[in-house]
Amino acid sequence: MSIKWKRLLVFALSFALLLPVWTANPSTADALTASGALGPVTPKDTVYQIITDRFVDGDTSNNIPAGFDPTLFDDANQDGRGDGNDLKLYQGGDWQGIIDKIPYLKNMGVTAVWISAPYENRDTVIEDHKAGGGMDRWTSFHGYHVRNYFATNKHFGMLQDFEELRDALHAEGIKLVIDFVTNHTSRWQNPTLGFAPEDGKLYEPDKTSSGEYAFDANGEPYDYNGDGKVENLLADPNNDVNGWFHGIGDRGNDGSRFGYRHKDLGSLADFSHENAAVIEHLEKAALFWKSKGVDGFRHDATLHMSPAFTKGLKDAIDSAAGGPVTHFGEFFIGRPDPKYDEYRTFPDRTGVNNLDFEYFRAATNAFGHFSETMTDFGNMMLATSADYSYENQAVTFLDNHDVTRFRYIQPNDKPYHAALAALMTSRGTPNIYYGTEQYITSDNSSDIAGRVFMEKEVAFNENSTAYKLIKKLSDLRQSNDAVAYGTTSVLYSTNDVLVYQRQFFDKQVIVAINRQPDLSFTVPALNTTLPAGTYEDVLGGLLYGASNTVTTVGGQNKLSSFTLSGGEVSVWSYNPPLGESPKIGDVVSTSGRAGNTVYIYGTGLGGSVTVKFGTTAATVVANNDTFIEAIVPNVAAGKQAITVTKGANVSNSFIYEVLSGDQVQVIFKVNASTVYGQNIHIVGNIPELGSWDPAKSTEAMLNPDYPIWFLPVSVPKGTTIEFKFIKKDGAGNVVWESGSNRVITSPTSSTGSADTPVYTWQ
């Protein structure tokens, strides 16, 4: 069957990163990497998001770490445990609490856990003064106010506790994703107190005589130089002598790309990602945590970060020992939004996929508010499948820590369950927000109200319908590749009913949903490519579904007409073996340079196979029927089609971007006047600059100080680059500079950054 696939002690950090990633217990893993690690999150996985402080308190001894103000721990009854009442304060959840609930997670079908940032955060009070008097007191329980990337958050545990969590999860075949913040530190000015100086400081451990960070035998920073301190001030946004922060102030209502990328998000001290020292520190921090055996990074606030920096950070992480890991980020939009085109192309430009806010928006409106129809929801799935290059890697969700609880919007069980069923069977990689399976709601529509202390709210009931639903459909996602890797087609839709099909070659899953809780609808007979026969409801009637029959009528197979009762969801699966012919379902990562590791997922991948990038063969390191580990060969930079050949059979192709080399930054600058509708772009002789094709030039340059334009661009290090500036308008008209090609040489350091002169348009 032909399908169009678009994806057609003192430890020296540098030494630690050369070590192989720790080895997991291989007994429960679908496909192990050559190192023995579980490998990245894939579309076969079901992710469970935990705000660490808000899950379970497994170790009360770390509730009030040394030096912490005890009034910032929510314990009015003084029993040593969080009360779950003042959600602005710490509640006590920790890594031991997650370990204690691993059986609960595994029994739900969870195969990956996304936890709060594991490193040290600002631990002093955050005071918000109210307009009418009074004050709110906040803490950094969420993990988004970094203080020191190389020490653990002591509210969650020590480094050994983190490693125990990693090992316990991996032993059960559950992958570990950490939240990671490289956009900002903490709040450096108080917007409720006239923007008075506040904090935002960044610290680092002592350094040894060789210049490496000093860690003791347990991996903890210690007082190496005997000055009574275990950490040292590295950067202060209120005394920014080395230019670590942009320091421009709050974004406010500035909706420009410059405003989003260079101004502060809520007065959080915004890193200057153009500064080579900043790049070096942030890459070193990410590699430090990769070396601890994590399987992925959820990148915070990617909407607010330079794509050039993000691309280089991702490249540095995946090029380090241990191979590629999962990357997805928070590019927070809500359509209609002028940034949608940026959002949909961000994974192509950086290699970091998105938390799927477009899916969230459509699901909220269709299943929550009922402000859009099920036809609208189906159209969203079709449109985004076309818009996203790697739609099955987008991380879909109904709710998370940045939005209100879905249960607050939809209190009726039937559409609530229908939304969960759609999430678990739609294209993308589903993410379950902690407690969604237990119907956790919130007191109001704010995100903070939804960040409840789960152990105080529910009894971790493994018999809830939502819990069992997630388990059944997680199992289906694991067993039938149509859900993980397949295309999406809509077979039937109305205002309230949607029938859609996921298909990977001959494997198929059909999902029929009625969102209305109290109305029944009859669906007519539908043409199908399913073979004749009877198909049982995968959910076993959990959501009132039933079996259905396919018969042949006049040479056309048809799914028999059926009636969907209120809230009914039926799921029918056809899962035949696909034989020995190789078929690619997914590839991680989607970009990298020659010599990088790449993981290929699908079927028929075992035995003697040849992997090619274009026409160039790659080295195969390990493989089995569902998995290949290979090395990116030396091929021309740019998009290359990966194929797998076994005997006379050649697989479908998957598009992979081969980078020109180790990515660094060049900040291009030019003085140029334009007419309304024109923007300045850069085009040049390397793929990152479009290889002289104006249609593949850089994004539009930024112009906060018009007529001066600038743009950070990710380019290969140590490379002589020829380029020119061009003017483009919305109709695609192009005006080239005159004169000779301009020439620069990019920095030779792997974390380098360099500014060009301010050229004058010629």
Q: Are 642 and 601 in contact (CB under 8 A)?
A: no
Q: What is the mean pLDDT of residues 236-241?
A: 98
Q: What is the mean pLDDT of residues 313-334?
A: 96
Q: Are strands 591-592 and 526-527 parallel, antiparallel or unpaired?
A: unpaired
pLDDT tens profile 439-457? 999 999 999 999 999 999 9
What is the Cα–Cα distance from 133 to 55, expressed in whole angstroms?
Answer: 33
Mean pLDDT of the chain: 95
Q: How many CB atoms lie within 10 A of CB 253?
A: 6
Question: What's the confidence (pLDDT) of residue 21?
Answer: 37
DSSP conformation class of 146 = E
Q: What is the mean pLDDT of residues 427-443?
A: 98
Question: What's the confidence (pLDDT) of residue 32?
Answer: 59
What is the Cα–Cα distance from 255 to 324, expressed in whole angstroms?
Answer: 34
Q: Which residues are tagged catalytic?
A: 300, 330
174, 150, 151, 171: which is closest to 50 by C-alpha?
Answer: 174
Q: Are strands 395-397 and 353-354 parallel, antiparallel or unpaired?
A: unpaired
Q: How many CB atoms lie within 10 A of CB 353?
A: 28
Provide the H-helix boundaries in 108-194.
159-171
Q: What is the mean pLDDT of residues 646-664?
A: 97
Omega cis (within 30) before 589: yes
Q: What is the mean pLDDT of residues 585-601?
A: 97
Omega cis (within 30) before 336: yes
0.75 exceeded by pTM: yes
Is 4 a residue whose pLDDT tops 90? Answer: no
Question: What's the confidence (pLDDT) of residue 10?
Answer: 36
Residues pairing with 548 in the sheet:
535
Question: What's the confidence (pLDDT) of residue 335?
Answer: 81
Q: Which residue has the higher pLDDT, 637 or 2?
A: 637
255, 85, 300, 59: which is closest to 162 by C-alpha?
Answer: 59
Residue given tokens 């009894």 in the structure block: 459
pLDDT tens profile 242-277? 999 999 999 999 999 999 999 999 999 999 999 999
What is the Cα–Cα distance from 443 to 87, expressed in whole angstroms?
Answer: 11
Residue 2 banded pLDDT, cuts 50, 70, 90 = very low
For 96, list phi and psi in degrees, rounded to 5.
Answer: -65, -35
DSSP string, 536-571: -BTTTTTTB---EEEEEETTEEEEPPEEE-TT-EEE
- How close are the terminal C-alpha atoms of the chain, in Å? 54
DSSP conformation class of 356 = -
Q: Are 198 and 250 in contact (CB under 8 A)?
A: no
What is the Cα–Cα distance from 363 to 397, expressed in whole angstroms?
Answer: 9
Q: By CB neighbour count within 10 A (0-12 exposed, 13-18 middle, 19+ buried), where does 120 fall?
A: buried
pLDDT tens profile 667-702? 999 999 999 999 999 999 999 999 999 999 999 999
pLDDT tens profile 77-98? 999 999 999 999 999 999 999 9
Q: Are 203 and 149 in contact (CB under 8 A)?
A: no
Residues pairing with 627 in the sheet:
601, 624
Question: What's the confidence (pLDDT) of residue 33?
Answer: 75
Question: What's the confidence (pLDDT) of residue 6?
Answer: 35
Question: What's the confidence (pLDDT) of residue 467?
Answer: 98
The tokens describing 601, both together, are 């997922």
Residue 22 banded pLDDT, cuts 50, 70, 90 = very low
Q: Which amino acid is at 247?
A: G
Residue 23 banded pLDDT, cuts 50, 70, 90 = very low
How far lies 695's CA from each of 567, 689, 698, 731, 734, in Å? 48, 10, 9, 12, 9
Question: What's the confidence (pLDDT) of residue 720?
Answer: 98
pLDDT tens profile 397-417? 999 999 999 999 999 999 999
Stretch (H or E) spanning 283: helix 276-290
DSSP string, 443-512: SSSSTGGG---HHHH----TTSHHHHHHHHHHHHHHH-HHHHH-EEEEEEE-SSEEEEEEEETTEEEEEE
Question: What's the confidence (pLDDT) of residue 500?
Answer: 98
Q: Torsion angle, CA of 450/50/314/182, rounded to 10 degrees?
A: 60
Question: What's the confidence (pLDDT) of residue 728?
Answer: 97
Long-range contacts for 206-210 (Cβ within 8 Å, ≥24 apart)? 206/230, 206/231, 206/232, 208/10, 208/12, 210/12
Is 16 a residue whose pLDDT tops 60? Answer: no
Omega cis (within 30) before 576: no
Is 26 a residue whose pLDDT tops 50? Answer: no
Residue 336 banded pLDDT, cuts 50, 70, 90 = confident
What is the Cα–Cα distance from 301 to 308, expressed in whole angstroms?
Answer: 15
Q: What is the mean pLDDT of residues 169-184?
A: 97
443, 436, 402: which is closest to 419 by C-alpha?
Answer: 436
pLDDT tens profile 347-373? 999 999 999 999 999 999 999 999 999
